[in-house]
């Protein structure tokens, strides 16, 4: 039997189903998938595309409590075998231990024998045979009773554990904005799954090394992850001895191995610890020149006025504003006015008066407007959005953030039109 590796998806570490399908031949004996970070791989698509002719083994080590979006059931029921891990690093961690799910009658008896050290002891305890003896290979895979007690207790509290983990994931997601200068990228919300991991992605490996160093200095334990199996010394050795065929390098997996960093995520992490980690990450991004939001003050008036007039087509009040007009306005609302400063320059402003917000930016990098909007939303919440109907740039910006025009307002020909967060998203 030989091993063939499939690469990761372009946008996340999970194995790519289309790459699996490219590697599958009629010699394929089994397909092994890892639901990496608990994010479900579309096993159903593989089953369909192979007409259910190739058994699938699911590595669910990360995936306890993950839900399969196709069935709405827990992950780990589609393949013929699934393995779960209770290693200390997993969501339900008791130190060491695991669970084998057998979804194939033929393999069930085999599993019982393997579990009982290669004997038919299961038949003996069920009273089917008078004595037990060795019938196949096996080993000592059972949990000790003490571990089993710990596991039972943890499983009884799985909702508590999972809710705590999900809350940490959400705190990172909400508080860590993507720095517009791309120091790192945040994971997409679609990778939340069972909150097994929260990883940042660094495009520059040196930046990642610096980040890990800075986190260590701040006493934040981060982990780089994901060394691709096909590039491991063992596989390289097997290939050099022609025990395994050479394969195409897994380019995406290699890229992931050089870019990902996991932040601390465990059920009993304290709120203060999470805050400390968020502050350390933000401080790092700022130290690398990421724009920051500060309260607007007198020094910013002129830059705000210029920005406002440069973006005049986006506002309903179309007359150029003068410095005096603007100062009169800002003086009254200075506590709700923020500017984004990058390299000492004001590159954007966001202000709101009684929930009605105005936003403009001159920054070329993507993400500055999002940084401003999300920071302001976090601070005040429930901001109203009104956009002129011919302002496609703003409409598409807010659409990406999950805002859609109010259907009734559109029908009534309202302009500027009110946008609402689409609760279905």
Ligand X SMILES: Cc1ncc(COP(=O)(O)O)c(C=O)c1O
| Both tokens assigned to 350 | 């966001």
- The whole-angstrom separation of Cα 202 and Cα 187 is 11
Q: How many CA atoms lie within 13 A of 297 on its CB side?
A: 5
Q: Which of 43, 61, 75, 346 binds ligand X (CB under 6 A)?
A: 61
Q: Which stretch binds ligand X (CB under 6 A): 20-28, 55-63, 294-302, 377-385?
A: 55-63
Cα separation, 352 vs 334, in Å, equals: 10
Q: How far is the CB of 195 from ligand X (least distance, A)?
A: 15
387-407 as b/e, with b when 16 or more CB fall inside 10 Å? Answer: beeebeebbebbeebebbbbe
- Measured from the CB atom, is 9 or 123 closer to ligand X? 9
Q: Please name the residues in contact with 217: beta carbons below 8 A apart, sequence gap of 6 or more.
A: none
92 contacts ligand X (rule: CB under 6 A): no
For ligand X, give the closer residue by CB, 89 or 162: 89
Give yes or no for residue 98 binding ligand X (CB under 6 A).
Answer: yes
Nearer to ligand X, 32 or 404 (CB): 32
Shortest distance, position 1 Cβ to ligand X, whole Å = 19
Question: Dihedral sign, CA of 15, 21, 23, 28?
Answer: positive
Alpha helices in 61-187 (DSSP H): 105-115, 121-125, 145-156, 158-175
**DSSP state, 295?**
E
Give the range of 54-62, 219-227, 328-336, 405-413 binding ligand X by CB under 6 A.
Answer: 54-62
- In this complex, which beta carbon is closest to ligand X, that of residue 147 or of residue 377? 147
Residue 396 makes CB contacts below 8 A (sequence gap 6+) with: none
Region from 59-67, 211-219, 274-282, 401-409 binding ligand X, contact rule CB under 6 A: 59-67
Nearer to ligand X, 196 or 300 (CB): 196
Would you say 228 and 250 are in contact if contact means Cβ atoms under 8 Å apart? yes
Hey, is 22 helix, strand or coil? helix
Q: Establish if 239 lies at the interface with ligand X (CB under 6 A).
A: no
Q: In 284-300, which positions are buried (b, 16+ CB within 10 angstroms) versus exposed (e)?
A: bbeebebbbbeebeeeb
Report the nearest approach of ligand X to the CB of residue 111 (Å).
Answer: 16
Name which of 37 and 417 has its Cβ closer to ligand X: 37
Site for ligand X in 7-46 (CB under 6 A): 34
Query: Residue 83's closest CA among 44, 110, 56?
Result: 56
82 binds ligand X (CB under 6 A): no
Note whether 87 binds ligand X by CB under 6 A: yes
CB 9 within 8 A of CB 252: yes
Q: Is residue 186 at the binding interface for ligand X, with CB under 6 A as the rule?
A: no
Q: Determine the size of the site formed for ligand X (CB under 6 A).
A: 8
Comparing CB distances to ligand X, the nearer of 143 and 401 is 143
In angstroms, what is the minimal distance from the CB of 38 to ligand X? Answer: 10
115 scored as a contact of ligand X (CB under 6 A): no
* 8 Å CB contact between 86 and 99: yes
Residue 225 in contact with ligand X, rule: CB under 6 A: no
CB of residue 34 to ligand X, shortest distance in Å: 5
Judged by the rule CB under 6 A, the positions of this chain that interact with ligand X are: 34, 59, 61-62, 85, 87, 89, 98
């Amino acid at each position: 039997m030989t091993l063939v590796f499939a690469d990761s998806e372009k946008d996340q570490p999970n194995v790519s189903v289309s790459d699996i399908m490219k590697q599958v031949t009629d010699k394929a004996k089994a397909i092994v998938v890892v639901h990496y970070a608990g994010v479900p791989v579309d096993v159903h698509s593989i089953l369909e595309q192979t007409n259910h002719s190739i058994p699938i083994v699911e590595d669910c080590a990360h995936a306890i409590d993950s839900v399969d979006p196709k069935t709405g059931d827990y992950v780990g029921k589609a393949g013929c075998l699934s393995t779960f891990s209770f290693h200390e690093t997993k969501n339900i961690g008791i130190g060491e231990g695991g669970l084998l799910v057998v979804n194939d009658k033929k393999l069930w008896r085999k599993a019982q024998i393997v579990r009982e050290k290669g004997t038919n002891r299961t038949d003996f305890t069920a009273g089917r045979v008078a004595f037990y003896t060795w019938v196949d290979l096996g080993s000592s895979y059972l949990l000790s009773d003490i571990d089993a007690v710990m596991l039972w207790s943890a499983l009884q509290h799985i909702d508590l554990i999972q809710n705590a983990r999900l809350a940490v994931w959400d705190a990172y997601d909400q508080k860590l904005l993507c720095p517009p200068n791309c120091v790192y990228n945040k994971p997409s919300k679609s990778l939340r799954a069972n909150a097994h991991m929260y990883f940042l992605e660094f495009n520059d490996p040196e930046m990642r090394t610096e980040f890990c160093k800075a986190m260590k200095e701040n006493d934040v334990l981060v982990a780089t992850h994901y060394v691709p199996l096909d590039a491991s010394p063992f596989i390289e050795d097997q290939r050099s001895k022609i025990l395994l065929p050479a394969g195409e390098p897994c380019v995406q997996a290699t890229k992931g191995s050089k870019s990902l960093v996991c932040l601390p995520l465990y059920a009993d992490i304290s709120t203060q610890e999470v805050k400390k980690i968020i502050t350390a990450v933000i401080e790092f991004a700022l130290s690398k020149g990421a724009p920051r939001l500060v309260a607007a003050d007198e020094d910013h008036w002129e830059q705000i006025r210029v920005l406002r007039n440069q973006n005049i087509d986006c506002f309903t009040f179309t007359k150029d504003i003068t410095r005096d007009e603007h100062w009169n306005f800002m003086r009254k609302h200075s506590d709700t006015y923020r500017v984004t400063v990058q390299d000492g320059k004001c590159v954007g402003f966001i202000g709101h008066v009684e929930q009605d917000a105005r936003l403009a930016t001159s920054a070329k990098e993507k993400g500055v407007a999002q940084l401003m909007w999300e920071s302001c939303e976090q601070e005040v919440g429930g901001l109203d959005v009104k956009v002129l109907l011919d302002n496609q740039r703003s409409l598409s910006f807010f659409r990406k953030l999950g805002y859609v025009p109010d259907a009734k307002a559109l029908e009534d020909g309202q302009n500027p039109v009110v946008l609402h967060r689409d609760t279905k998203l």
